[in-house]
Structures are given as structure tokens and as C-alpha cells.
């Protein structure tokens, strides 16, 4: 959405970075918009440089996974063992993650604000309640991260700040940049169809360069027309510059590749592929700061314990996450820190599922009053299980964190921003509706709860 | 399972086009969506304009011209000249039919000395099959029949019903009346019934329990789709203390008024015919329901705290109550279709599609308190339409012509106001925009980009329509955007879907159409497997056929330009192209690549 901010971006001339391949595209929005202010002095944690968010679309059944509750319904073949005091674990579903407990922590005292897919997924992507009045203009978390990270981009960075994998077919769709500049809109990838376009080999890069030069020569007039009337063309051209910069970068060919051996190791699944891409993006450190990976099809209303349902997805997730942790924890930067040290990994669905007995369709339905999230990296201490639900998994009975109540998406978003060194109390005025955009609403959606960082994860 | 709460109108820049500089220049609401003339006040320096003086000799062909040129003359606003034949030829094809013309027709058109050739072309296009396809797609984007809600069978029959209406140019008031009043034992067999069925709200136990939620949805969608008024905000709370800066009329409305609108649908039952819900939902619709109880529970809104009991319906825009001897639902349909706002909203919608910007914007954000120039709103509000009298005149024309969509579109297309060039001599200012002083540039919609690509290259992929034996070749022919998505394991269809999504296609469920630019689009056009396939000189492609012809290189290049960009190339462009094609067959593919990636290719102007 072009808007007040975009009109300030036309001064490309001021940001020309020589005649090199690196485009000025990413630097355009360094112009600070008017009316951005912070509400209060917050001290951010700054312990992470990246966030990978694996979203379990449809809602994972918490009582059958990370907040296991046993009852008459529990299948015999879950292979349940107590892997730590008070931690019962379905070994048949998450064998690898069971071995990596020191790398991540679980929060069992989470809740969702909504139990309708697209509203709850909207919440997870944006950190805000879905409000019809703001919906079209409100930027998601990844866009805010990309926007805030723009100031820290290197001249050599060519990758978009926010990358989203396999999200578009979810019920909420993929939220676009809202009223922030289109530079920060998520770059979306579909691992089953969209990757081929971005990853080029040497031959492909040469061809692209050749054609790009031809195109610029032939199309020079409209692309370089700086008059107001030609703004539409100019904006269009800006996206081309960004795209060419990205595709010409050799790193893009590695980042957006999924090699067969890796595909196998990560579990031969879409979520596995998504995690490979996330790892690559983080490792390349070429501009991407927030990666949203969608794991589809957790919405097990029918026959949840059929192999193709809960079992399959749990095993996919187990292999994908554990491989991701393996790679992040063993690959190091020049200063000796591992990728996991500087990458916060978060994983949960938009809500939990109905606990206790199964439904008439032998499944579990949407349930917002309890869910479990997995948190790792970026300064987060592993090995913890924070929070408790009752014996059925129906209610949070012990929040166990500094907030002293259930954890909601706003708290998670605050934690992400803080870890990334982003002042979450910021407000941008002058959104197209006339309202102000709060990075984090001072008070949560349906109750007057102060949103805050989950410090228990770190200390 | 999926409760849809439709957004209330996001009335951003509600005032800008009618503002005539009444908003302060640095007001944050002075911002415009992508593709339109931008909000330049902040960055532009005033310069003397060398544009045409306002009273230039462009003939006024119909009532539209009288109002548009009249106002520019009165206010001393300069405007563009008329579009060239080339400019017009391409634009009218895209706007009326959503598709590029074939090259032979361009030459014939340019060569014709007939002074009425533009009018005749319009008449011809307005009865073409492509016209039907485009406007069927357009209206379905408004009605939103999603297979995820109603299943493929219903989606297909609904599509065919809509297309028939366009084909026959059925009076639109009859069409809407039929949709609103449809009863059915099954929406799988009665086409129009799916308009109602699609909005049903279901609770886990039984839809009867949230019967009032469905009534709300039907009233909200009817008011939005056909009256251009989005009452969804007031369906949760009174307008007061919420909408004072957004919509004057709605800021004075009470939630109870929305309930009374919904009460017209209080007896309407939309019931699933299957015990257990699955994707292929089939519904029956009847009017044997209990009525609307404003204390009934809701699963998608702020709780209703009305007085228990049944509410009598009242049509909020006129205060009319239904004839108690009649069913309320047909009474609602009668009131709505005879409401002057119905004609106003419809003509505004069609105007917005052809001109790029509505006389009232947003098109679903009418402010009923700011339409009448004889009754202007109090300061700081101003009139909402840029041309209030024109809007009334168009609405009147629409009514007098039996609510014929085709007639209205032809009136618009034949006006010289529509036929102005997008090129503006001299310095364009944002303040000229509300006058329609030139044709606005817009990026093509997702389907138009794809259809231009496949049409120009003549390389098509068959797209099966699920639930039928039909296969289509153009994205705009799809009965639903879902044809490219659901349950499909075809990698090529997946690529097409990704391409369309990149360009902002709506899935008629969770997403709105988005015509913003994004880097993904550039990646797709430059390097997607889809585009690489399209530009290859395979058998049957336009390029392969062209290369076999016995023509000079210059002539072949000219033909390619006419095919892709619907104009003749300038001498420099021919020279540049000759350089490109020096390298043999690969060079011709390079040239096609360049043409597809040229800025012009994805814009309408």
C-alpha cells in the first residue's frame, strides 16, 4: 500500500550505491516516517538477531503432544515415558526432540484469544486481535521486524527482511505489509512450487544479467521517469531492482536450494523443507531476520489418531525441528557463537484442541483455553517446562512466569521484539485509517492485561 | 466451521478525492493506494503548468462528459488530451474484456477511417464472450462463492447462473432480487441460492443455535454488496464513540438498527443437509425459522444484549417496515432494489472498475450523510462523491435503462472523459485527480497479468474446472480461484496459482484482492519456470508461427510489439530489438522476455 511513507521514498537518487549489483532498493525506507514515538523507556534484551517461527496451522493437540494427558483415549502405541521428573513424553511421536531437551523449553500455560482458524492465525502472524477496522493496514510481526531491521542492513544484504514459507494457503492467508512500505512485505515461498524462480546457477545468473541490461535499456523511459504521474511505474521498477539484486547474489542460489540429502534428513516433508530454508536464511545472514514456516494440516477434527493425522504430523515436526536444532547448534559464526545462540526459535499452533474424550468424529476440536509452545535459542534457556494445566489439559492452573497469568500471543511477540532489540512500546501514528499503530497493544484484546516479555525463558 | 466476520469499511482517504484541498496538506489521511496518482503535496514543488487549458475542444459526447469537463472548465483544471487509437484500443480491451486483443485487429482498427470506429468497437466488445467472462469474474469477486463454504457443485451452478445473467444482460435489480429471495431444497440445484447459503454461520452443535449470526451476515453482505454501505462495524457496537472520524452516517447508527435489518432474515433458515459437516456442504434454504431474537447468543460478535423476544424488521435507510401480510425477505429485497442507493452503488462500482477510482471511494464505504449537495454535511466533513450530481445522473440513467449493466458500461466507455489519455502534458498534480483529468494508470490484476501472458504467447495450460468436464485456458474463466488450489497435485497448476497469488488474487475467503507491488512479482516475471515456459518458441506458440513466416526482421519485431504491447514500436525500439535477436532463436525469446517484463505490459493506462 503506497501511502504517506511511500511518497518519501521517491528520492532514490539520494541513495544510489554506485553502479554495483547491489541495489538501493533496500535502503529506501531508511527515511524515518513522521510520528514514530516510543511510549515508555523499555530496555530490550537484544539477545537474538533472528527469529524462526514454525506455525502449526490448524492447531496442534496439546494433550497428545507436549502437554501429554493420559486417559482412556490414549493410544497404546504412543510409547509414553517419563523423560524428566513430571514430564511424560510420547516417544513414538517425538523421539528426537526427547533427546534434545536441553536445547528448548516448553510453556504449557499458553492460551489463545480465539478459536476460529482465520482469526486465530491472524493473531499468530500479527500479534494483534483481528479488528475489521484495522485489518487491512496492520503490519504483521515479521514486517515490523523487517522494518526495524532496515537500519542494520549491510550494503551487501540482498535478501528480504521477512520471508514466509508455505503460509499462503492457510485460512488467514499470508498477511501483507499493511501500511508499512512494500519493501517489508513477506517474501513468500511455496516449497512445492515457488522455489525454482529464485535460485539460479551461474548460467542462470548470467542470463538474468544479460536480460536485465537489455530490459533497462529498452524500458528506460518509464523506469526512469521521476514525475508524479509515473509513480506507479517507478514503484514497480523498485521491486525489480530488489529482485535482481537478490537473484544475482550467489548466496541466493544456495539459500533457496533444497538438496535431496537434506530434504531426506529433515524428514521429507514440507515443514522439513521450510526449516532447511530457515536455516539457510539465518546462516547466510544476508538481510533476512524473520522467517515464518508454516506446518499445515493439524486441524484434526476427524480420526485424530489415524496414522495419517496426528502421528504423521508429529513425526514430521519432530524430525524437522530436531534437525534444525542440530544444525543451528553446531554451526558457528566467526566469533564462536552458534547460530542457535543468536536465533530464537518458536513453535506452536493458533490454539490447542479439546481435551479429554474424543469427539463423535474421533477427533479433537478447536480449544483456546490451553496450548503449549516450544521456545529455543536467542538467549532462551533450555530444559524447562514452564506452566501447568489441570489433569485433563483443559485449564491453566499454574502460569509459572513473571506475568502470573496465561501466556498470550502478545507476550510472545513482546518477547520476540525484545530479543531482537526492538522497542516494543513504539507507536506509529498516521496509519491510513487515522489511528495509531502500536507494535504491542498496551492492553490485550479481551481483557485489560498488560502485555509483557516472558523473562522466565531467559533467566 | 469458519465464521466470517466481514470487516467494517476501512474508510481511508475517504475525503481526499472530494476534498478539493480541504484537508490540511500534511494530514495523514492524504495518502492513496498503489497505482493511483500519489499524494504529492509533501514532495512536489509547484511549477507553472503547460497543460492544455481547461476549455479545449474535446467534444462532449454524453452526460458523463458534460459533468466531467464541465467541472474542470468551471474550476480551471487542465486535462489530458484524448487517447490515441493505440492507447484506446488496448485499454478498452482490458477494461471491458480483461484480455489483450489479437494483433490483426489492431491494424484494422488503426487503418479504419470510420469516425465512429471507437463506438462500434465498444458495441462489439460489450457482446463478446470475453466480456462475459470478465464481468462474471468481477461480480463473483463481490458475491464470493467459495467452494470451501458451499462445495464444488454449488460453486459451479452459481457460476453458470451469474454468467447467464451477464450474457443476457438481465436487469440487475431482478438479479439481486432473485439472489436475496432464493429458496431451495438444495443449493446444489438452485444457482442463486448459494449467495445466501455461502454466509451461513454454524456452531459446532447446530446452526439453529446461531441463527441470528447468519441473519446478521446476510443483512451486512446485502447492504455492502448492493448498497455499498458497510454496516458491519455497527453490528457489534453503536456508531457513537467509534465512527466519528470514519463515517458520519454510521457514527449516528445504533446496533439495534442493524438487528432490525437482520430481522428481515430472522425467519430464514440455512440448514446443512448432512449430519456431519465436510467440505462439500449442501444447504437447504427456507423461511420457516423462528425470527430474530436480539438476546440470542453469538459465536462471532460481541454478545447481544437486546430484549429477549422477536424483533420486527425495519429497513434502516428509509425506516420502512415490511408489509405484515408478506414474507419479510422478499420485502427486504424489494426495498433494497428500489432504494436509490442501489443504483448509485452499482454505477459507482462499475465506474470504479472502468476509471480506476470510484466517484465515491471506497466503493463499499458510502457515507449516506454526505451524498446530497442540497444537504451538505456539517464542517469539517465535505461531500463524499467527487461529482455528486454526476452520480445521481448515472443512477438515474441506470434505472431508466432497466438496470442494464451493459448499457451503463457502454455509456462510460463511449464518453470522452473515459477516453482521455493517461499522458498528461505538463506537470501533473495530485489535486487534478478528483477531476478525472487523465486516465489513471493501474497495475493489471493478477488474472489480467496471467491472461495477457498466455494470450500474447499463445501458449496455454488447460485448467480443469472441478466438478465438471470443462477445461479453461484463461485465469478469468475459472469458476473459482480454487481451481488452481484445492487438492491439486499438478505442479504446473501450482505454479500458476503461485503466480496469481504473487499478483494479489483474492481467494474469496480469507483474502482480499491486493494490487500492491512486491518483489515476488518481479521474481516471477523474470525467472519463474512458468514464464520461461511461456516465452519459448514451442510448436503452436505465437513466436514459433511468426518465425516461420516470410517477413523481414523489422516486420516480425513490429508484430511482436503489436502482440504484446498492442502498439507499434518506435524506430529506436526496432533497432534495439534487432540487436537482441541477432543471436538467433534464443534472441527472439530474449525479446519476448523483455516485452513481458516491460513496465507497460503489466499496467493499464
DSSP code string of B249-308: HHHT--HHHHHHHHGGGTT-EEEESSSS--SS--EEEES-S----TT---SSSSPP---S
The secondary structure of B394-461 as a DSSP string is: HHHHHHHTTT-HHHHHHHHHHSTTTTB-S--SS---GGGGGGT-SPPPEEPPHHHHHHHHHHHHT---
For residue B526, the chain A residue with the least C-alpha distance is A208
pLDDT for B210: 84
Nearest-neighbour CA in chain A from B23: distance (Å): 13
Could you tell me the three cell numbers for B360?
Answer: 465515491
Residues of A in contact with B30 (CB under 8 A): 4
Lowest mean pLDDT: which of A54-58, A164-168, B115-119?
A164-168
Chain A residues inside the 8 Å CB shell of B593: 211, 215
Nearest to B233 among A133, A229, A239 (CB): A133
pLDDT level of residue A432 (50, 70, 90 thresholds): confident
| pLDDT(A30) > 50 | no
Cβ within 8 Å, pair B599-A215: no
Nearest CB to B10: which of A208, A429, A433?
A433
Helices (H), A68-170: 95-99, 117-126, 141-149
Question: How close is the nearest chain B Cα to the Cα of A243, in Å?
Answer: 6
Which residues of A, range 290-319, sit inside 8 Å of B by Cβ?
none
Q: Which of B420, B522, B561, B587 to mutate to test the interface with A (most CBs of A within 10 A)?
A: B522
C-alpha dihedral (A187, A191, A195, A196), degrees to nearest 10:
-160
What does the block give as the cell for A91?
516417544
Helices (H), A407-448: 409-419
Q: Is the pLDDT of residue B206 over 60?
A: no
Of B376 and B1, the one with more pLDDT: B376
A9-18, A404-413, B167-176, B466-475 — which is least confidently predicted? A9-18
- pLDDT of A346 higher than 70: yes
Look up residue B243 and give its three cell numbers: 465512527
**B526 vs A contacts (CB less than 8 Å):** 197, 208, 211-212, 240, 243-244, 247
B-chain residues near A164 (CB < 8 A) = none
C-alpha cell recorded at residue B133: 467472462
- DSSP lists the bridge partners of residue B259 as none
Compute the nearest-CA separation of A287 from chain B (Å): 14
Closest residue on chain B to A138 (Cα): B10
Q: What is the mean pLDDT of residues A306-325?
A: 96
Q: Report the percent of chain A where pLDDT is more than 70.
A: 91
Nearest to A198 among B495, B523, B603 (CB): B523
- The Cα–Cα gap between A153 and A162 comes to 13
The answer, yes or no, to whether residue A12 has pLDDT greater than 60, is no
What's the whole-number mean pLDDT along residues B121-130? 97
Cβ–Cβ under 8 Å, residues A459 and A418: no
Contact between residue B192 and residue B161 where contact means Cβ atoms under 8 Å apart: yes
User: What average pLDDT does this structure show over A201-218?
Assistant: 92
Question: Is a pLDDT exceeding 80 seen at residue A11?
Answer: no
Instruction: Tell whether A332 is within 8 A of chain B (Cβ).
Output: no
B201, pLDDT greater than 90: no
* Beta carbons of A434 and B8 less than 8 Å apart: no
CB contact under 8 A, B599 and A233: yes
Site of grid cell 498534480: B429
Per-residue 3-state assignment (H helix, E strand, C coil) for B194-226: HHHHCCCCCCCCCHHHHHHHHHHHHHHHHHHHH
Mean pLDDT of A200-218: 91
Give the span between the Cα atoms of B161 and B463, in whole angstroms.
20
Question: CA A40, A45, A47: angle at the middle one, nearest 5?
Answer: 155
Contact list in A for residue B524 (CB cut-off 8 A) is 197
pLDDT of residue A395: 96
> Rounded to the nearest 5°, which phi and psi values hold at B324?
-65, -20
Q: Which of B359, B362, B365, B379 is nearest to B247 (CA)?
A: B365
The answer, for A95 touching chain B at a CB cutoff of 8 Å, is no
Residue B7 pLDDT level (bands cut at 50, 70, 90): very low
- Please report the pLDDT score of residue B212 as a whole number: 94
Answer yes or no: do A229 and B37 touch at CB < 8 A. Answer: yes
Q: ∠ CA A243-A15-A7 to the nearest 5 degrees?
A: 80
In a 10 Å sphere around its CB, with 0-12 CB exposed, 13-18 middle and 19+ buried, how is residue B374 labelled?
exposed
User: What is the mean predicted confidence (pLDDT) over A411-427?
Assistant: 95
For residue range B404-462, what is the model confidence (pLDDT) as tens digits?
A: 999 999 999 999 999 999 999 888 888 999 999 999 999 999 999 999 999 999 999 99
Burial A156-182 (b: 16+ CB within 10 A, else e): ebbbbbbbbbbbbbbbbbbbbbbbbbb
In this structure, are residues A51 and A344 in contact, taking their beta carbons and an 8 Å threshold? yes
CB-nearest to B31 from A3, A172, A192 is A3
Contact: A228, B233; criterion CB under 8 Å: no
Q: Which of A118, A240, A433 sits opposite B522 (nearest CB)?
A: A240
Mean pLDDT of all residues belonging to chain A: 88
- Residue of A193, A235, A367, A435 to mutate, testing the B interface (most B Cβ within 10 Å of its Cβ): A193
More confident site: A230 or B530: B530
Beta strands in A261-342 (DSSP E): 290-295
Neighbours of B532 (CB within 10 A): 16
The residue ranges of DSSP E strands in B46-118, in sequence order, are: none
pLDDT tens profile B486-502:
556 788 888 899 999 89
Is pTM beyond 0.90 here? no
Predicted local distance difference test score (pLDDT) of residue B19 = 30
Do B498 and A194 lie within an 8 Å CB cutoff? Answer: yes
Indicate yes or no: CB of B594 within 8 angstroms of CB of A4: no
* ipTM value for the complex: 0.84
- CA of B34 vs chain A CAs: smallest distance (Å): 5
Name the nearest CA neighbour of A254 among A198, A325, A334. A198
Closest Cα in chain B to A174:
B511
Query: A115 pLDDT exceeds 90?
Result: no
In B, which residues are within 8 Å of A232 by CB distance? 34-36, 441-443, 603
Please judge whether A229 and B428 are an interchain contact, meaning their C-beta atoms are less than 8 angstroms apart: yes
Distance, CA of B528 to chain centre: 27
Binning pLDDT at 50, 70 and 90, where does residue B539 land?
A: very high
Q: How confident is the model at residue B208 (pLDDT cuts 50, 70, 90)?
A: low
The answer to whether the CB atoms of A188 and B246 lie below 8 A apart is: no
Q: Over 80: is that where the pLDDT of A27 sits? A: no
What is the pLDDT confidence band of residue B42, given thresholds at 50, 70 and 90? very low
Instruction: Return the residue matching grid coordinates 538438496.
Output: A259
C-beta separation of B4 from B202 below 8 A: no
Nearest residue on chain A to B26, judged by CA atoms?
A: A4
Return the pLDDT at B202.
Answer: 76
DSSP state of A450: B
Eight-state DSSP code of residue A22 = S
Cβ contacts of B554 within 8 Å, gap of 6 or more? B574, B578
Q: What is the mean pLDDT of chain B?
A: 87
Q: What is the pLDDT of residue A38?
A: 73
Q: pLDDT tens for residues B214-250?
A: 999 999 999 999 999 999 989 989 999 888 888 999 9
Residues in A touching B512 (Cβ below 8 Å)? 136
- Answer yes or no: do B603 and A160 touch at CB < 8 A: no
Query: Which of A135, A218, A236 has its CB closest to that of B576?
Result: A218
Q: Is the pLDDT of residue B36 over 50?
A: no
pLDDT at B485 exceeding the cut of 50: yes
Entry field: residues in chain B: 605
Amino acid at each position: 500500500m503506497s501511502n504517506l511513507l511511500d511518497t518519501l521514498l521517491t528520492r532514490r537518487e539520494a541513495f544510489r550505491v554506485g553502479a554495483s549489483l547491489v541495489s538501493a532498493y533496500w535502503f529506501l525506507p531508511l527515511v524515518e516516517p513522521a510520528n514514530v514515538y516510543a511510549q515508555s523507556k523499555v530496555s530490550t534484551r537484544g539477545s537474538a538477531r533472528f527469529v524462526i517461527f514454525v506455525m502449526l496451522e490448524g492447531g496442534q493437540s496439546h494433550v497428545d503432544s507436549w502437554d501429554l494427558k493420559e486417559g482412556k483415549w490414549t493410544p497404546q502405541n504412543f510409547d509414553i515415558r517419563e523423560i524428566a521428573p513430571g514430564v511424560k513424553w510420547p516417544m513414538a511421536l517425538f523421539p528426537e526432540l526427547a533427546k534434545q531437551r536441553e536445547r528448548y523449553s516448553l510453556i504449557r500455560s499458553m492460551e489463545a484469544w480465539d478459536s476460529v482458524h482465520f482469526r486465530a492465525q491472524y493473531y499468530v502472524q500479527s500479534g494483534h486481535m483481528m479488528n475489521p477496522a484495522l485489518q487491512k493496514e496492520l503490519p504483521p510481526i515479521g514486517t515490523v521486524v523487517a522494518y526495524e531491521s532496515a537500519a542494520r542492513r549491510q550494503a551487501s544484504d540482498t535478501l528480504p527482511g521477512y520471508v514466509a514459507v508455505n503460509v499462503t494457503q492457510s485460512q488467514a492467508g499470508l498477511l501483507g505489509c499493511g501500511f508499512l512500505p512494500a519493501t517489508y512485505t513477506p517474501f513468500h515461498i511455496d516449497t512445492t512450487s515457488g522455489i525454482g524462480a529464485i535460485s539460479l546457477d551461474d548460467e542462470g545468473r548470467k542470463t538474468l544479467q544479460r536480460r536485465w541490461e537489455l530490459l533497462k535499456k529498452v524500458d528506460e523511459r518509464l523506469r526512469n521517469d521521476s514525475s508524479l504521474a509515473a509513480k506507479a511505474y517507478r514503484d514497480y521498477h523498485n521491486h525489480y531492482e530488489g529482485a535482481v539484486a537478490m537473484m544475482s547474489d550467489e548466496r541466493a542460489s544456495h539459500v533457496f536450494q533444497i538438496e535431496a540429502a537434506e530434504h531426506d534428513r529433515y524428514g521429507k516433508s514440507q515443514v522439513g523443507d521450510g526449516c532447511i530454508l530457515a536455516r539457510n536464511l539465518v546462516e547466510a545472514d544476508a538481510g533476512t531476520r524473520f522467517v515464518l514456516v508454516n506446518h499445515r494440516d493439524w486441524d484434526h477434527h476427524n480420526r485424530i489418531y489415524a496414522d495419517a493425522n496426528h502421528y504423521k504430523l508429529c513425526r514430521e515436526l519432530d524430525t524437522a525441528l530436531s534437525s534444525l536444532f542440530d544444525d543451528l547448534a553446531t554451526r558457528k559464526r566467526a566469533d564462536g557463537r552458534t547460530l542457535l545462540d543468536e536465533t530464537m526459535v518458536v513453535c506452536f499452533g493458533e490454539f490447542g484442541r479439546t481435551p479429554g474424550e474424543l469427539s463423535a468424529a474421533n477427533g479433537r476440536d478447536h480449544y483456546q483455553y490451553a496450548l503449549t509452545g516450544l521456545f529455543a535459542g536467542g538467549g532462551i534457556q533450555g530444559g524447562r517446562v514452564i506452566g501447568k494445566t489441570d489433569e485433563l489439559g483443559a485449564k491453566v492452573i499454574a502460569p509459572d512466569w513473571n506475568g502470573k497469568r496465561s501466556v498470550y500471543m502478545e507476550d510472545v511477540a513482546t518477547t520476540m521484539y525484545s530479543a531482537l532489540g526492538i522497542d516494543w512500546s513504539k507507536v506509529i501514528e498516521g496509519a491510513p485509517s487515522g489511528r495509531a499503530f502500536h507494535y504491542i497493544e498496551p492492553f490485550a484484546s479481551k481483557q485489560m492485561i498488560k502485555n509483557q516479555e516472558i523473562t522466565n525463558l531467559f533467566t | 466451521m469458519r465464521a466470517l466476520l466481514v470487516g467494517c469499511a476501512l474508510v481511508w482517504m475517504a475525503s481526499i478525492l472530494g476534498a478539493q484541498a480541504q484537508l490540511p496538506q500534511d494530514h495523514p489521511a492524504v495518502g492513496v493506494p498503489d497505482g493511483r496518482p500519489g499524494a504529492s503535496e509533501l514532495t512536489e514543488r509547484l511549477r507553472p503548468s503547460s497543460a492544455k487549458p481547461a476549455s479545449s475542444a474535446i467534444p462532449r459526447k454524453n452526460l458523463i462528459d458534460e459533468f466531467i469537463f464541465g467541472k474542470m472548465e468551471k474550476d480551471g483544471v487542465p486535462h489530458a488530451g484524448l487517447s490515441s487509437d493505440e492507447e484506446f484500443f488496448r485499454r478498452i480491451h482490458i477494461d471491458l474484456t480483461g484480455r489483450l486483443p489479437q494483433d490483426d485487429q489492431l491494424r484494422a482498427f488503426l487503418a479504419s477511417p470510420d469516425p465512429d470506429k471507437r463506438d462500434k468497437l465498444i458495441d462489439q466488445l460489450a457482446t463478446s464472450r470475453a466480456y462475459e467472462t470478465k464481468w462474471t469474474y468481477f461480480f463473483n469477486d463481490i458475491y464470493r462463492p467459495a467452494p470451501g463454504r458451499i462445495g464444488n457443485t454449488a460453486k459451479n451452478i452459481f457460476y453458470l447462473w451469474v454468467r447467464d445473467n451477464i450474457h443476457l444482460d438481465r436487469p440487475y435489480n431482478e438479479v439481486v432480487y432473485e439472489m436475496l429471495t432464493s429458496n431451495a431444497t438444495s443449493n446444489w440445484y438452485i444457482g442463486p441460492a448459494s449467495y445466501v447459503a455461502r454466509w451461513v454461520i454454524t456452531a459446532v452443535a447446530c446452526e439453529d443455535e446461531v441463527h441470528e449470526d447468519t441473519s446478521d451476515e446476510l443483512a451486512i453482505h446485502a447492504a455492502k454488496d448492493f448498497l455499498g454501505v458497510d454496516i458491519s462495524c455497527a453490528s457489534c457496537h453503536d456508531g457513537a464513540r467509534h465512527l466519528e472520524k470514519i463515517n458520519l452516517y454510521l457514527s449516528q447508527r445504533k446496533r439495534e438498527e442493524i438487528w432490525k435489518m437482520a430481522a428481515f432474515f430472522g425467519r430464514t433458515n440455512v440448514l446443512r443437509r448432512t449430519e456431519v459437516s465436510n467440505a462439500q456442504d449442501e444447504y437447504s434454504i427456507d423461511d420457516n425459522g423462528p425470527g430474530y431474537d436480539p438476546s440470542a447468543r453469538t459465536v462471532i460478535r460481541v454478545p447481544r444484549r437486546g430484549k429477549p423476544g422477536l424483533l420486527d424488521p425495519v429497513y434502516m435507510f428509509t425506516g420502512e417496515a415490511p408489509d405484515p401480510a408478506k414474507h419479510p425477505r422478499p420485502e427486504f429485497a424489494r426495498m433494497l432494489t428500489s432504494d436509490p442507493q442501489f443504483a448509485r452503488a452499482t454505477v459507482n462500482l462499475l465506474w470504479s472498475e472502468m476509471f480506476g477510482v470510484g466517484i465515491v471511494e471506497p466503493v463499499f464505504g458510502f457515507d449516506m450523510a454526505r451524498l446530497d449537495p442540497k444537504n451538505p454535511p456539517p464542517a469539517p466533513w465535505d461531500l463524499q462523491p467527487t461529482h455528486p450530481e454526476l452520480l445521481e445522473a448515472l443512477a438515474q440513467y441506470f434505472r431508466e435503462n432497466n438496470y442494464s449493466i451493459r448499457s451503463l458500461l457502454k455509456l462510460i466507455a463511449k464518453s470522452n472523459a473515459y477516453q482521455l489519455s493517461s499522458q498528461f502534458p505538463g506537470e501533473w498534480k495530485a489535486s487534478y485527480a478528483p477531476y478525472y483529468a487523465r486516465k489513471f494508470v493501474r497495475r493489471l490484476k493478477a488474472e489480467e497479468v496471467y491472461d495477457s501472458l498466455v494470450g500474447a504467447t499463445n501458449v496455454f495450460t488447460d485448467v480443469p474446472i472441478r466438478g465438471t468436464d470443462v477445461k479453461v485456458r484463461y485465469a478469468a474463466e475459472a469458476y473459482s480461484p480454487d481451481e488452481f488450489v484445492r487438492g491439486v497435485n499438478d505442479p504446473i497448476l501450482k505454479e500458476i496459482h503461485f503466480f496469481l497469488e504473487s499478483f494479489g488474487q483474492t481467494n474469496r475467503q480469507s483474502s482480499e484482492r491486493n494490487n500492491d507491488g512486491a518483489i515476488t512479482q518481479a521474481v516471477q516475471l523474470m525467472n519463474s519456470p512458468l514464464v520461461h515456459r511461456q516465452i519459448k518458441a514451442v510448436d503452436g506458440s505465437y513466436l514459433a508461427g511468426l518465425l516461420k513466416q516470410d517477413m523481414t526482421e523489422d516486420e516480425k519485431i513490429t508484430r511482436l510489439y503489436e502482440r504484446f504491447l498492442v502498439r507499434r514500436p518506435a524506430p529506436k525500439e526496432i533497432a534495439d530489438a534487432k540487436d537482441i535477436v541477432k543471436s538467433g532463436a534464443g534472441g527472439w525469446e530474449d525479446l519476448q522476455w523483455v516485452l513481458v517484463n516491460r513496465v507497460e505490459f503489466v499496467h493499464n493506462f
